[in-house]
Amino acid sequence: MEFRNVTIVDGTGAAPFVGDVVVEGDRIVEVSVSTPPADGPGQATGLVLAPGFIDVHTHDDVQLLSTPDMDFKTLQGVTSVVVGNCGFSAAPSYADLPMGPSFATMTDYFAALDNEPAAVNATVLVGHGSVRSAVMGFKENREATSDEMAAMSARVIEALDAGAIGISSGLAYEPGRYSGPDEMKQLVGLVADAGGIYTTHMRNEANGLLDSIDESIAVAETTGAPLQISHLKASDRSVWGEVVPALEKIEAARARGVDVMFDQYPYTRGSTFFDQVANSGAFEGQSEFGSLSPEEVLIASAPGRPEWEGRTLAQVADDEGVDTRTMIDRIVTELDRRCVVILDRMCEEDVQTVMSHPEMIVGSDGVYGGSRPHPRLHHTYPRILGHYVRELGLLELPRAVQAMTSAAAKRFGFHDRGVIEAGAYADLVLFDPETIIDTGTYMDPKTVPTGIEGVWVNGTLVVENGAITGERPGLALRHR
């Protein structure tokens, strides 16, 4: 397979050039600069060939197996995902956690991924919440005993031995919120010994943002593990602007040798599990999720209650003829941990401040399910390339592609990926930089982005002309 006279954005951040790329099997074997005549036949097509995008922050653990075509990822140019984020992973078994079927061990999970390949590649984090839930249950609001710490350590070591690239925490959620810094330091220490990474959905992204940055950095500094702060944001009106001191803290830590980075999705609204928000006290005052009004909460997924999806909490309460408090209790009672909501939490200026930072990498944080998932699930990458690069000029195309490819690959264990060079795997996306754009809205999110012309995973075509091919060439990649 050959690409002729395409504009190559190679993922390293280098300037684009017009050239040819030759692929044999699953690898790129040749990259050359072409010398077309200035005018006339053979000049550049105008299409950009880039490394396939790597989504470093997903909750696709179950989807890799249950929806292996992964169309919501490949149609936006994504060829690899990192699963197991925010403390939730498919193993060890988490009967109490909200994300669907699970596996007793990480060895079992990898075996399932090997047996039923998906369209995209994946690396896997073990979730601290899953580990704690497997050992202590979901609701134990106390420190772990030494026996429980030993049991959790054994689970983490099993996961690392099986091929997990590190550990994630979700310290705003049950059961992660019940753990203190010492528990994380001990478990992250095991990960550091294995050369793995620590990613964290921090304890409080609202009025505890800066303290949470300090807590996260302290874990990295104590253990020596690389730290990835997930979906960096100031998640309440009262702290808008605090991404600036948050970034300063990250820069200060980096300056003294702590390996800290962060990722981001390009929207001012977040999305999470309703029961966690309701139980946090966000409707009564400040909480880990800030302070929320019923108008700011949009129901994305309500299994068995499609009539609630696409309505705000205020509207649903009105529809049902009850007050907000009664409605909150009704949703939690009826749907338990299965209701996903969209929260209007951030400001655009903060989104742009974070995006402009040279260490930013991209992760969608999409949560699959329901009729109205947050549009980030289907549209994160075209939105950055179309809206923030082309329309706003906030960042240059090579830097944006780098944040989606080589920088992400280096951070999350995708060896020989994220770059266009001879010898690298042929994970590729061909797109039109003049038309690429997200098309999904909060009310109509499951649309196909514009401008993605082709997507290849390990040399196999998975998207052609805005449609999936049905091929599933993805690999479950072990940490090494």
Binding site for Zn ion (CB under 5 A): 86, 201
| Residue 340 beta carbon to Zn ion: minimum distance, rounded to whole angstroms | 12
* Residue 84: closest CA among 194, 227, 230: 230
Minimum CB distance to Zn ion smaller for 276 or for 469: 276
For residue 414, which phi and psi values (nearest 5 degrees)?
Answer: -95, 90
CA distance 380 to 434: 17
Residue 171, class by beta-carbon neighbours within 10 Å (0-12 exposed, 13-18 middle, 19+ buried)? buried
CB of 27 to Zn ion, least distance (A): 34
CA-wise closest residue to 155 among 143, 170, 167, 146:
167
With respect to Zn ion, which residue has the nearer C-beta, 166 or 473? 166
Q: Quick one: 56 or 86, whose CB is closer to Zn ion?
A: 86
Residue nearer to Zn ion on the CB measure, 86 or 404: 86
Residue 89 CA to residue 106 CA, distance in Å, equals: 9
Nearer to Zn ion, 132 or 201 (CB): 201
Nearer to Zn ion, 49 or 86 (CB): 86
Q: How far is the CB of 43 from Zn ion (least distance, A)?
A: 45
Residue that the structure tokens 């979901």 belong to? 138
Nearest-approach distance from CB 134 to Zn ion, in angstroms: 20
Identify the CA nearest to 85 among candidates 29, 130, 34.
130
Helix axes 348-356, 243-255, angle to 10 degrees: 20
Q: Which is nearer to Zn ion, 79 or 264 (CB)?
A: 264
Closest by CA to 302, choosing from 282, 321, 330, 279, is 330
β-strand partners of 450: 437
Distance CA 238, CA 347 (A): 11
Q: How far apart are CA 423 and CA 68, in angstroms?
A: 27
Find the shortest distance in angstroms from Cβ 351 to Zn ion: 16
Instruction: Output 86 or 246, the one with its CB closest to Zn ion.
Output: 86
Shortest Cβ 202–Zn ion spacing (Å): 9
Give the whole-angstrom CA distance, residue 221 versus residue 217: 6
Shortest distance, CB of residue 213 to Zn ion, whole angstroms?
15
Nearest distance from C-beta of residue 230 to Zn ion, angstroms: 5
**Residue 86 or 282 with smaller CB distance to Zn ion:** 86
- How far apart are alpha carbons 199 and 477 in whole angstroms? 18
What Rg do the C-alpha atoms of the chain give, in angstroms? 22
Closest approach of Zn ion to the CB of residue 168, in Å: 9
- Rounded-to-integer distance, Cα 217 and Cα 224, Å: 10
The answer to whether 204 and 172 have CB atoms below 8 angstroms apart is: yes
d(CA 102, CA 66) in angstroms, rounded, equals: 12
Helix (H) / strand (E) element for 130: namely helix 128-136
Task: Report the candidate in 457, 412, 362 with the shortest Cα–Cα distance to residue 64.
Answer: 457
Q: How far is the CB of 86 from Zn ion (least distance, A)?
A: 3
Structure tokens at 39: 């005018």
* Nearer residue to Zn ion within complex by CB, 73 or 203: 203
